[in-house]
Structure 1
């Protein structure tokens, strides 16, 4: 009778106790098919998905080759290595003696007890979401590596078998030489979040039935890696320790993909590199949910990142040292020149460097007590890299160029990661960094010449002037339009436009009325404004003598604006709307300058300085 096998096995004839000739036949394998003599010492390696072995005898006097009866048993050479023993009982069925020792063959299982069923993929440590196409990117620093494994052993894994999975020692050394560090230090929150237990770099697998799959996680620091496609070799071990657990035949090798995405704020260009080429991408127009963007920005400001992603042409460690040196140099120069310097900032710069070493702390969850959060502020794996809370955005208009490496002539060239959609992958990677760049620009807009539209020339003393306002002199990079932006088609509050239709602007009355082009707010009158956050909305003047306290400063006789009755109620003042001009709906003249709203940020009311106080303080005119 034929015995069925799967996988990779080494066969060896160990014993023959028969007068008849013996042989065994392999069929259906990918390699090793054939007929082999039943002679002690005969050995063959057979591999395939599903194949058979048949033991046969021949009495030499006319029987020809006939199938023997076979007795199969299972044993082990070590805790991880199984063997199958086949014993043959020759002769015709009614003449067999039942000893099953006429020919003995021992088969050693050469396969690992598990398989990795797909390419290992990168997972962001803060959000626990897979990075685009599972590609590891240098800009993201330390990342989890998700590995989907399957139990390919002949037995279920349970607490008794005590199976664990790790990365082989030889593979760790090879990865380290390529700038990839395997991190074995895990916090308790990390292990709970990923629902696994680590021990000495091994992931414990408590229960996994034969043929079942599950995902386990390792931690890699790719911040010093180059765009590449390295192999990672995985190994299994048992509580009943197998000294040969990391033998080459016991390792499962899988390739991971590493890219390098950077953002150049000077050229406003995103750069994504893979071994086959580089894409340069510039965002010209995006649609952003300002509310979620502002929340991401606030989180980034509260949890500043200590490690900036590398700029194009820099490695991460050089970038860290250069940035720290430049920041420290500027702070010391300011201090020596008598300028005010935040001592906490100096302390933070000095504290970032390791004691007695020019290198910078990586803070990446490697056992430090304060690993930082990198702008994320939540999740089990926050670190000091610049990552940001996710927010809703959509690229509407962008341009890109692709430079293959090495350059090629003709229509066709190499494919990144052997994937025909490599250009799309690169753009996805660039888009990943683009989200971070939006927050970066949002935070540092006031320091970037590409964003500066003017300079502050005067500002109020809030405590003494009863006004919260400032005057900016524009530099000409942005057109001047004293009209009010009308509700736009994509405004969330465009159901009540001022002119009866969306789009365009609402002209204010700038004729000379002998009163600087303004008028007093009138109790009960309808007013409207165009805010950066809540867009164009209208309300009713409910008070012109409000006394209030905002951020510890007391204000008297302020203008309070209330919502219209439902269904026309709209948010009036939310974070980002400060500086909006409230205009009388009938007279079309300015009446107040918005500067505050509800602490809940729900926009249920608005608080504004009377416009007369503002123009008197700064000597302004709204009329031509």
Structure 2
């Protein structure tokens, strides 16, 4: 058998206890190839990407050479410059592997290489950002690092890639935070194992490569190039923690995209210059765009850092003492102190009233200007022939366009899509009924007397009249007193409690009137309700979710009579339920008559 080695090694024969004739060969090396006698003190230096050391024996001068058994003991792998023992054994009873014995030292002094610039991967969908650039608008990314083993031995489960402590502090001063909190689902999706604050590189033979993902928040970073120092540690222990071969410094590129509130232009900045874009027309991923809009939480009251910690400490002590606490308040305090994506983030996707998750939006018509940070002489300059950073910024804008959160006036252009815009806004009342008067141009509302039935291209297919048809509803609404009477009568048949709605997100869904709120309450977004609200649960006959974000504004209709009952405004996942304002109250407070 042979021992395969990688890189530059120095071999010294330090023992030779044999009965038969022996020799050893170095083959496949870039330098050092040859056949050598096992003379004690003989030294050979061999180098190559991958090469083999083979020990051989023969019984007599006329016998053929046969391979000997071999072993390698690398010793403790706590140093970059490995010192190993290699032994060969002829087929004799004593298995001490000292027929030929080498002291072997790895001489390269290298451990690993990061051949390409570390790149940004979105945590939501594992989408790699254009040119790997980290855009501050999305804040949190996986930091993709391509690691190549340049050591003399394979990496194992103790080899962990991390960002060095010094680099973490340096990055923090530049607005970049290395995040160490991982969920098991995240690690499983990336096929990774976390050990301490680093990620296990795992079994990796010399010359082979693997991409390792760390996690960073760049939301407060300046738009420029930032240096990151990576360290490859042996988690089982290191005799040389400061060995320079353990550290590799690489740059990451950060851009910042915001909106000019005066001109409504998208402004993207990088170290080389600034790109300003005015959207004229946008092609929108309407399926995910419809789901991306939700009401922002109310502004958080500013509190001193010490007061946050004191309150959190008090709540945790109460929990340890066995007293009930509000877990949502604990979460809010934790999010306020250390969570990314804070509601008061000035660069987050929000237009003040609504917040938006990212979705695909491709600019199809736009104007743009490029301003290099260092001006150039002449008409053309080096930009079209050098690093095309401005083209990369256009790709970033196309890939991550946080339409209403970033675009100010340009949002009006982007959101004028009939699947996303309800219409022109008129009189509004937030508390008690959470309703507004609008000039409707949505594709689900035909007029108060009709709503769309289930569509053939939607998930829910339980049509009331006909698939892709319309439903005619009664011209009179069901009064609150009648609904209350149905709920109060224990003999009310289930058919008299059945309702349906035609929602913008879920399409046509069904439910059962299950009750009403008897006491005043305040929703998480700050909306207060002091009058009863109708609650609707799932109808087991249909197996549908009652509602989903985006269904707000749809009307619940009584199936038995076709009369509109209530205006949907919120829902819950656990338990699956919806809450709606009685239409009688909505009409009364908004002054609406039919």
TM-superposed deviation, 1:111: 5.5
Cα deviation, 1:246-296, whole Å, max 9, x if unaligned, reads 411233444432223233233222222223332222222224466754543
2:475 corresponds to which of 543, 568, 580: 543
Q: Tell me how far apart the structure 1 counterparts of residues 338 and 374 of structure 2 sit (CA, whole Å).
A: 39
For the Cα contact (< 8 Å) 2:163–2:228, is it kept in 1? no
Cα deviation, 1:147-182, whole Å, max 9, x if unaligned, reads 344566666666xx5333323345445545655443
Residues 13 and 194 of structure 1: CA distance in aligned 2, closer, same or farther (over 3 Å): closer
For the Cα contact (< 8 Å) 1:364–1:371, is it kept in 2? no
Q: Tell me how far apart the structure 2 counterparts of residues 166 and 434 of structure 1 sit (CA, whole Å).
A: 31
Identify the residue that residue 259 of structure 2 maps to in structure 1: 263
2:348 corresponds to which of 373, 377, 386: 386
Identify the residue that residue 339 of structure 1 maps to in structure 2: none
- 1:405 matched to 2:402: no
Indicate the RMSD between aligned Cα atoms, in angstroms: 6.6
For the Cα contact (< 8 Å) 1:272–1:429, is it kept in 2? no
Q: Tell me how far apart the structure 1 counterparts of residues 451 and 69 of structure 2 sit (CA, whole Å).
A: 95
Identify the residue that residue 586 of structure 1 maps to in structure 2: none
Identify the residue that residue 224 of structure 2 maps to in structure 1: 227
Contiguous gaps of at least 5 residues in structure 2: 17-24, 56-66, 89-97, 310-329, 350-355, 413-422, 453-468, 485-499, 510-549, 556-563, 572-577
Q: Normalization by structure 1: what TM-score?
A: 0.50
For the Cα contact (< 8 Å) 1:112–1:236, is it kept in 2? no
Residues 291 and 172 of structure 1: CA distance in aligned 2, closer, same or farther (over 3 Å): closer
**Equivalent position SS for 2:396:** helix
2:238 corresponds to which of 235, 242, 255: 242
Cα deviation, 1:488-517, whole Å, max 9, x if unaligned, reads xxx9689x9x9xxxxxxxxxxxxxxxxxxx
For the Cα contact (< 8 Å) 1:526–1:540, is it kept in 2? yes
For the Cα contact (< 8 Å) 1:364–1:384, is it kept in 2? no
**Equivalent position SS for 1:430:** helix
TM-superposed deviation, 1:434: 3.1
Q: Tell me how far apart the structure 2 counterparts of residues 599 and 368 of structure 1 sit (CA, whole Å).
A: 26
Cα deviation, 1:390-426, whole Å, max 9, x if unaligned, reads 345332321212222323356452689x855x33321
Q: Tell me how far apart the structure 1 counterparts of residues 224 and 275 of structure 2 sit (CA, whole Å).
A: 13
Cα deviation, 1:133-158, whole Å, max 9, x if unaligned, reads 43222333343323344566666666
Q: Tell me how far apart the structure 2 counterparts of residues 52 and 195 of structure 1 sit (CA, whole Å).
A: 32
- Aligned ranges 1:85-124 → 2 under 5 Å: 106-110=104-108, 115-116=113-114, 118-124=116-122
**Equivalent position SS for 2:293:** helix
- 1:430 matched to 2:397: yes
For the Cα contact (< 8 Å) 1:186–1:365, is it kept in 2? no
Residues 265 and 288 of structure 1: CA distance in aligned 2, closer, same or farther (over 3 Å): farther
- Aligned ranges 1:325-336 → 2 under 5 Å: none
1:137 corresponds to which of 127, 135, 138: 135
1:162 corresponds to which of 134, 158, 164: 158
1:182 corresponds to which of 178, 185, 188: 178
TM-superposed deviation, 1:600: 9.5
**Equivalent position SS for 1:230:** strand
Q: Normalization by structure 2: what TM-score?
A: 0.52
Q: Tell me how far apart the structure 2 counterparts of residues 214 and 303 of structure 1 sit (CA, whole Å).
A: 44
Cα deviation, 1:365-411, whole Å, max 9, x if unaligned, reads 997687557389xxxxx999725423453323212122223233564
2:280 corresponds to which of 281, 284, 288: 284
